[in-house]
Amino acid sequence: MRDESPIPLVFKVVAGLALLVLLLPLAIVVLAGLNAGDYLTFPPQGLSLRWVKAFLSSPVFLSAYFYSFLLALAATAISTVIGTLAALYLARSGSRAAAFLRGYFMLPIVLPGVVLGLSLYVFFTTTDIGLARTFTGLLICHVLVTSPFVIATVTASLVGFDVSLEEAARSLGASPWTAFRKVTLRIIAPGISAGCIFAFIVSFGQFETTLFLSVPNREPLPMAMYISLRYKFEPTAAAAGIFAIALVVISTIITSRLVSLRRVFRA
Amino acid sequence: MAIAETQAISSIRSGGSITEALGGFRLWWLVVPAFVLFLCFFVVPAVSLFAIAFDKSVPGVVTFAGNFTFDNFVRIFTRPLYYMAILRSIGIAAVVAACALVIGYPLAFVIAKTEHPGRNTFLMILVLSAMQLDTVIRMYGLMVLLGDSGLVNGALLASGLISKPLPLMYNTFGVVVGLVQVTLPFMVLSLIGIIKAIHPSLEEAARSLGATRAQAFWRVVLPLSMPGILAGSLLVFALSISSYVVPALMGGWKVMVLPIHIYQQIAETGRWQFGAAIAVVLFLTSLLAVFIYHKAAARTAGGRT
Amino acid sequence: MKNWIKGVAPTRRGFLKGSAGALALGSGVNLFNINHAFSQDVVYDGTVFDAGGATLRIAEWGGFWEEIIRKELLDQFEKDFNCKIAYESSFPWFPKFVAGGPQKPPFAVVNWNYGEMFKTAAAGDFFVPLDEVLANLPNAKLIWPFATENGVGVTWSYSRYCYAYRIDLVDPKPADFKTFWEEKFAGKRGTYITSNGLQMDFFIAACKLFGKDQYDLEAGYEAMRKAMPMKISDFTGNMQALLERGEVELAVQHDAEVYQQMDKGVKVAPMLWEEVKPILTQTKTVSRYIEPTEKKLAYALINRTLETKLQSVMGSTFYQRPVNRDVVITENLASKGVTNTADAIAGYWTPDWKSYNEHEEDIVETVNGIFAG
């Protein structure tokens, strides 16, 4: 209709403010990571790649970075599968059990990470099931804290999904699996990929739960950064932050390229 | 596009047809893996830890000894240090949820309505990057901004607007800013999908019936965003009330919230029974708050959703 | 051995008694063997031996500290003794010890600050008695007596408590411990949260200097009240940043960090406490109920940390002071006036941590209340 932007001006202004809140601390950290001085300080005393190099040549930081990456990848894969399955049930079942379970799956977020980590640690130790301070034990904890995000986003993307579409596909001769794959999965794909990103980021940044569950010789990145900030305010941690951001930037670009390529092919 | 339309207008159906659609596969089987995992590794450990809250408080003892007592809870509700922390935790989490909604909704709206793929990806990257950066070091960034000799105070002092630095952190304000910074992406991401799913034709229809732009927003767009608003605020509330790192760093130990007490009792004094009791209180408090919010939101949403 | 079996029963009481019992039964044979081994005496004579690929579980600080310790000590140690080090840096250690009980220690060698170490020692029979440890450390004869006076572990590196102050903002320079309470530092002085060892020492020192003795908690509380408003930090790293930005002009610190900051060009200097001389220690314990090979490795590792080589490295990289009498102070510390002589180390004071830990609940609650304002 009228020639106006689809976005009201006041929204643009507030959105700008929101971006400012999100990005100012980010900009400070990035600049601090490119600091030429000896110290994590702001404004930086000249720019250099000195601390980026320090990060790249630090065995502790670098291995922590890859360890966190691997852990987040594994946690994301598991929580995406079990979370999507659970969400399919939650969105389609009208039973009271489903209403109850919706709350049930949100519980790990409500409990402070310290308590969750400690309760798991005590559980692992007292039952002697051999999971205390192992990769599997840590992974279980990460799946617990990432699944709620997958379940929430996929359930949300299923709200409004009309089951008759899947039925229509079936009546046109598709097998249940094909109908699911071609219709349902395609529609909830954005929800799943959002859930994946959520899960990955939440796992990558887990700090409080990790305090009790971390594995010897394997320090996740948030832990390494915290310890290094705790004892010496060195820009290496900020440089590590730059690489963490790079990870998200790259994966988002790749995902969006993939999605738009798919669009091109479909068109 | 047709799918999106159907998606926005239609509602979920439930019941037996799905069972059939899945070829005799029982629907509830889908939820079993997640349910069992949560039961074994969340419910059992958490309940076991909660159980010791009803034990006599002895340092360094971590398993249930069977000395049943309510002393730990009595202590919480008779000492202002603790019961004030309950109210403070709820208050801060509620304020953070409200702030995140007010500034997060417009940002989500802008991202949802930005159709240019490159620009859209760029905005998403900005939000996700902010989320990805480690919380502890992000708080460092905020300290540089909000500290007594931080950039904000520095600018204000230099411009002569103030003569003494404003207390922007090491207080409740600082904690709220920190938590909003941390939780905002969660709010935005909860909203984008829902706003995208609202088809523009609905707003146009309202406009063509004579509604002003503002009316169309308040009467049509906002009510249709309710599921996202609800999910986002609950998520932000839960993340805020259980956060330890942000109040610890931004509050300068002057804003004592429940997770700080829990951490101290567990990691420092070794009184796990008392720490567990505070955790029980925190857990029940947030469940209650979530429940009330749900009921209230359902009522205000009325028949619209 | 009898003790061990008796000891294990109460720790297993608890929520999952049934399943825990079943699991323990499954690994019963193995447990018995380990137990049997406990009764063997372990003797270490200072020589290098082949551990046959055994693992030594240690807990020590992470980050840059870990990097240096690995590079300067552990890598070579692994090669020499044919063993693997499992290094854990996720503090705190105390909950991990009590969660498993004395018979299932999570680590063999742990690096502590005093407060947490004494708390753990008080919570159970976790550590090898210090006399027994010292009997197996040939290098123990090289170290100053204060390093083992705590009665629980072997201190191998330390720094002195002090105030850090901004030389450009504080004039005249602080004179003594009580300078901290001067009116001009209101809102510009800094200390730490109650779980930080620096605050614990600061509090006990305040009790002693403002009250009758170190047990005069009321005097300590009053001192904390009078020091408000002040900045409360969680860790020293954060305090360094506050000092560097000038938000704090006078802060409780230990001298190693101040020297580091000085050499990075930050305008700070230390004012060492002289009325009482507490030290911030790095102290190692050996866990009691571990296998003999691991225990022998534990002794070997601690023995090496006392050698002059590592002690010098700690000085040049972390500005830490040595406990080994023979260590020549490195230039970076010598230029700050640090020496390693009998005079210099005289009069170091260790607070009564047992008493502190007994009153910790009240102290934490009260001081939290004061800090929260």
Q: Where residue B291 sits, what CATH number does that domain have? A: 1.10.3720.10
Containing domain of residue B247, as a range?
79-301
Counting beta carbons within 10 angstroms of the beta carbon of residue C341, is it exposed (0 to 12), middle (13 to 18) or buried (19 or more)?
A: exposed
Provide the shortest C-alpha distance from residue B215 to chain C (in Å): 46
- Distance between CA A116 and CA B131 in Å, rounded? 22
Residue C113 near residue C314 (C-beta atoms within 8 A): no
Within a domain: B66: no
DSSP annotation string for C145-165:
GGGGTTSSSEEEEEEEEEEEE
- Distance between CA B274 and CA B279 in Å, rounded? 9
DSSP state of C141: G
Q: In terms of pLDDT, which residue wins out, B222 or A94?
A: B222
Encoding tokens for residue A125? 């130790």
* Lowest mean pLDDT across A30-44, A210-224, B19-33, C332-346: B19-33
Provide the shortest C-alpha distance from residue A15 to chain C (in Å): 31
Residue C289: Cβ within 10 Å count: 22
Within a domain: B152: yes
Calculate the alpha carbon distances from A70 to A132, A200, A210 in Å. 19, 10, 15
Arithmetic mean of pLDDT over chain B? 84
Q: CB pairs below 8 Å between A and B: how many?
A: 320
- Which domains, from first to last, does chain C contain? 2-157+281-341 (3.40.190.10), 159-279+351-372 (3.40.190.10)
- The rounded percent of chain B whose pLDDT value lies above 90 is 42
DSSP state of C192: E
DSSP annotation string for C112-134:
E-HHHHHHHHHHSS-B--HHHHH
Encoding tokens for residue A165? 């579409």
Encoding tokens for residue A96? 């009271």
Backbone φ and ψ for B96, nearest 5 degrees, come out as -60, -45
DSSP annotation string for C7-66:
HHHHHH-STTHHHHHHHHHHTHHHHHHHHHHHTS-----S-----TT-EEEEE---HHHH
Here the contacts of C75-82 (C-beta below 8 Å, separation 24 or greater) are C77/C300, C77/C301, C77/C304, C80/C48, C81/C48, C81/C49, C81/C50, C81/C51, C81/C297, C81/C300, C82/C50, C82/C51, C82/C52, C82/C53
- Interface confidence, given as ipTM, is 0.88
Within a domain: B46: no
**C186 contact B CB<8A:** no
Evaluate if residue B290 carries a pLDDT over 50.
yes
- The rounded percent of chain A whose pLDDT value lies above 70 is 92
The parts of chain C modelled with pLDDT lower than 70 are 1-40
DSSP state of C185: G
Q: Considering Cα of C53, then C59, then C62, then C68, what sign does the dihedral take?
A: negative
The answer to whether the CB atoms of C62 and A211 lie below 8 A apart is no
The model's pTM = 0.86
- Distance between CA C327 and CA C308 in Å, rounded? 5
Provide the shortest C-alpha distance from residue B132 to chain C (in Å): 21
How much is the pLDDT for B25?
60
How much is the pLDDT for C167?
96
* B181: chain A residues, CB-CB within 8 Å: 21-22, 25
**B42 contact A CB<8A:** yes
Averaged pLDDT, B27-53:
93
- Distance between CA A14 and CA A22 in Å, rounded? 12
- Distance between CA B206 and CA B201 in Å, rounded? 9
* A206: chain C residues, CB-CB within 8 Å: none
Averaged pLDDT, B32-56:
93
Residue of B nearest to A90 (CA): B31
Encoding tokens for residue A236? 């290496």
How many helices (DSSP H) and strands (DSSP E) are in chain B? 16, 0
The answer to whether the CB atoms of C86 and A216 lie below 8 A apart is yes
Evaluate if residue A5 carries a pLDDT over 70.
no
Q: Is the peptide bond before A43 cis (omega within 30 degrees of 0)?
A: yes
Strand spans (E) along C225-334:
231-233, 250-254, 268-272, 279-286, 321-322
- Distance between CA C93 and CA B219 in Å, rounded? 56
- Distance between CA C327 and CA C321 in Å, rounded? 9
Q: Which residue stretches of B114-221 are H helix?
A: 117-132, 135-146, 151-158, 172-197, 200-208, 213-216
In the three-class reduction of DSSP (H, G, I as helix; E, B as strand; rest coil), residue C269 is classed as strand
Residue A87 near residue A151 (C-beta atoms within 8 A): yes
Arithmetic mean of pLDDT over chain A? 85
* Lowest mean pLDDT across B22-31, B282-291, C27-36, C137-146: C27-36
* B144: chain A residues, CB-CB within 8 Å: 25, 28, 32, 42
* C67: chain A residues, CB-CB within 8 Å: 58-60
Question: Which of A6, A42, A170 is the closest to B144 by Cβ?
Answer: A42
- Distance between CA A146 and CA A150 in Å, rounded? 7
Evaluate if residue B14 carries a pLDDT over 70.
no
Count of structural domains, chain B: 1
Q: How confident is the model at residue B208 (pLDDT cuts 50, 70, 90)?
A: confident
Question: Which of C24, C65, C87 is the closest to A231 by Cβ?
Answer: C65
How much is the pLDDT for A141?
96
Q: In terms of pLDDT, which residue wins out, A166 or B19?
A: A166
Q: Could you tell me which residues come within 8 angstroms of residue A125 by beta carbon, excluding any fewer than 6 positions away?
A: A132, C99, C100, C104
Evaluate if residue B3 carries a pLDDT over 80.
no
Helix, strand, coil shares of chain A, percent, nearest 5, are: 75, 0, 25
The answer to whether the CB atoms of A167 and B21 lie below 8 A apart is yes
* Lowest mean pLDDT across A223-232, B7-16, C34-43, C48-57: B7-16
How much is the pLDDT for B88?
95
Chains with at least 3 CB pairs less than 8 angstroms from chain B: A, C
Evaluate if residue B23 carries a pLDDT over 50.
no
Tens digits of residue pLDDT in A71-87: 999 999 999 999 999 99
Closest by Cα among A162, A159, A141, A152 to A194: A152
In the three-class reduction of DSSP (H, G, I as helix; E, B as strand; rest coil), residue C325 is classed as coil
How much is the pLDDT for B165?
87
- In this structure, chain A runs to a length of 267
Q: Considering Cα of C26, then C31, then C33, then C34, what sign does the dihedral take?
A: positive
- Distance between CA C15 and CA A124 in Å, rounded? 12
Calculate the alpha carbon distances from A35 to A48, A96, C257 in Å. 6, 57, 21
Question: Which of A82, A166, A241 is the closest to B21 by Cβ?
Answer: A166
Tens digits of residue pLDDT in B241-278: 999 989 988 988 889 999 999 988 887 788 889 999 99
- Distance between CA A34 and CA A239 in Å, rounded? 7
Within a domain: B210: yes
Residue C252 near residue C163 (C-beta atoms within 8 A): yes
- Which domains, from first to last, does chain A contain? 53-266 (1.10.3720.10)
Q: Could you tell me which residues come within 8 angstroms of residue B226 by beta carbon, excluding any fewer than 6 positions away?
A: B297, B301, B304, B305
How much is the pLDDT for C19?
40
How much is the pLDDT for C11?
39
Within a domain: B31: no
Q: How confident is the model at residue A262 (pLDDT cuts 50, 70, 90)?
A: low
How much is the pLDDT for C65?
87
Strand spans (E) along C168-272:
189-192, 231-233, 250-254, 268-272
Provide the shortest C-alpha distance from residue A190 to chain B (in Å): 8
Encoding tokens for residue C185? 């530092």
Evaluate if residue A144 carries a pLDDT over 50.
yes
Pairing type for strands C321-322 and C154-166 reads antiparallel
The answer to whether the CB atoms of A25 and B200 lie below 8 A apart is no
Residue of B nearest to C99 (CA): B62
Tens digits of residue pLDDT in A152-209: 888 877 876 677 777 788 788 888 788 877 788 887 887 888 888 889 999 999 988 8
Residue of B nearest to A1 (CA): B204
Pairing type for strands C84-88 and C55-59 reads parallel
Q: Residue B95: beta bridge partners?
A: none
DSSP state of A106: T
* C251: chain B residues, CB-CB within 8 Å: none
Distance in Å from the first CA to the final CA of chain A: 27
Evaluate if residue B302 carries a pLDDT over 80.
no
Encoding tokens for residue B140? 């460092």
